[in-house]
Amino acid sequence: MPAECVTVAIFRQPTPYTGSKLALGALMETQRVCLVIEDNDDIRGLITVVLTRAGFDVRAVATGADGIAAAADPSVALITLDLGLPDMDGHVVARAIRALSTAPLLFLTARSEQDDHLAGMASGAAAYVTKPFHPQELREVALRLCPATAPATTDQASQQA
Ligand code: CA
């Protein structure tokens, strides 16, 4: 099935396939950029697929250092941050990003303890999703933090899809 081939390709690419982005951008006037910081390849691929389907232009990186560098781009409208990164403590990454960007920060973490939740809020998290998460939960939280700004063109896009 061609659809399955496309899905597999997206999962194996850290960055979204850019060929279709031009066509999608023409339909959706203001595609919001979402920076995804996640070291696990499978989870990064899943987040990328979910948020791309939710209308975001996803930029995915695997380390805290790359995430901080990418967060300096003012076009970033939403950031998802895995707290368990190999190179830096997630809360340190969060505070560094907070100094660079006003984009809402969505924490994604396997840790579910209340202490981590409170520490996350202290680090500037706008929302918190605990792994394993349902794709619909991630989609809803992302769209609540960063709603689509052009509903008319979004409707047009979905009618053509
Ligand atoms: Ca991780």
CATH 3.20.20.105 for the 29-144 domain, yes or no: no
Q: How far is the CA of 80 from the centre of ligand 1 (A)?
A: 12
pLDDT reported for residue 55 = 95
Q: How far is the CA of 44 from the centre of ligand 1 (A)?
A: 9
- CB atoms closer than 10 angstroms to residue 89: 13
Residues with CB under 5 A from ligand 1 (ion): 39, 82, 84
pLDDT reported for residue 31 = 83
The C-alpha atoms of residue 53 and residue 71 are separated, in whole angstroms, by 21
CA neighbor of 115 nearest in space, from 96, 94, 91: 91
Percent of the chain with pLDDT over 70: 68
Burial class (CB in 10 A: 0-12, 13-18, 19+), 23: exposed
Q: How far is the CA of 85 from the centre of ligand 1 (A)?
A: 5
pTM of this prediction?
0.73
pLDDT reported for residue 150 = 53
Q: For all residues of the chain together, what is the average pLDDT?
A: 80
pLDDT single digits (tens) 14-36: 444 454 555 554 454 568 999 99
The C-alpha atoms of residue 94 and residue 20 are separated, in whole angstroms, by 31
